[in-house]
Amino acid sequence: MARYGAILAYDGTAYQGFQRQPEPTPTIQAAVEGAIAVITGQTVGIVAAGRTDAGVHATGQVISFKAEWKHDKRELLFAINSQLPLDIALQRIWHQEGFHPRYDALWRQYAYRIATVGVRQPLLNRHVWQLLSCERLDIGSMQEVAAICLGEHDFAAFGTAPQQGSENTIRQIFLSQWEIQREEFGISYIYRIRGTAFLYHMVRRLVGAMVQVGKGKLTVEDFREILLSRDLERVKVLAPPNGLVLEAVKYPQHVVAETSEGGTSASVDEVPLEESV
């Protein structure tokens, strides 16, 4: 029985998060394990880089599983995809003994997307947080508070430890920045954050507070004080889940070395992430 690693993309709108729950609750894990079982004829449990929350998406969730398969890895990828719903699909698969998607990761990266629109855009609603363009955002202030998050901080004011029994809320952040894109419907604001790990709902609370700064309802100093307070009650806005995407996870060169194309991609930089945020 071989262990496989894989990159998984999904639209999380129709699912109650990644982690399997009692039937008939729809989850990403249940859908993927069911598809693998149909193809291999085996009961397979998958291990994921993390458990995304209900309504959160991924362009590169990382999973691993053990299965007996006598054919080419690429055939396994297409076979599994043939049994998955249209909003879930494997992007890449490789053979990797000893690989653990969560514990082997060096850092994880998320993106959160906001669209400012003149009128509500139904086709955007599944994947962005829509704000009316009359609610102007001060990107300079938002960029300033994003920079405050860089480095090692106690983020207890923005989230809780994802594992029971763990009280460690200190996290190290390597990237925290906003970018702007002009679109036909208006302006998109994209926030990217990269760190060793994240607390439960941490990214959504950070985005919610940063938008409050952008609207002038909080100052930069207010944000700094909230961070230092360690008080979860200070953050009043939780950004909706539909704007959040797991984008990438970084692994050491010696850990993820094989790709579905048969070549080597030692670091697999653009592979994606972990906890419910």
Q: Which positions are annotated as active-site residues?
A: 53
Dist. CA 215–CA 117, nearest whole Å: 15
Q: Give CA 46 to chain center in angstroms.
A: 17
- Tell me the backbone φ, ψ of residue 229, rounded to 5 degrees: -70, -30
Q: Is 45 helix (H, G, I), strand (E, B) or coil?
A: coil
Tokens representing 146 are 């994003």
Q: Give CA 165 to chain center in angstroms.
A: 23
Q: Note the residue count of the chain.
A: 277
Residue 258 backbone class (left: φ over 0; alpha: ψ -120 to 50; beta: rest) = beta
242-266 in b/e form (b: 16+ CB < 10 A) is: bbbbbbbbbbeeebbbbbbeeeebe
With beta carbons less than 8 A apart as the criterion, state whether 32 and 98 touch: no
- Tell me the backbone φ, ψ of residue 260, rounded to 5 degrees: -65, -25
Kindly tell me the sign of the dihedral angle through the C-alpha atoms of 177, 221, 208, 183.
Answer: negative
Dist. CA 78–CA 84, nearest whole Å: 10
Tokens representing 126 are 């599944």
Tokens representing 26 are 């729809």
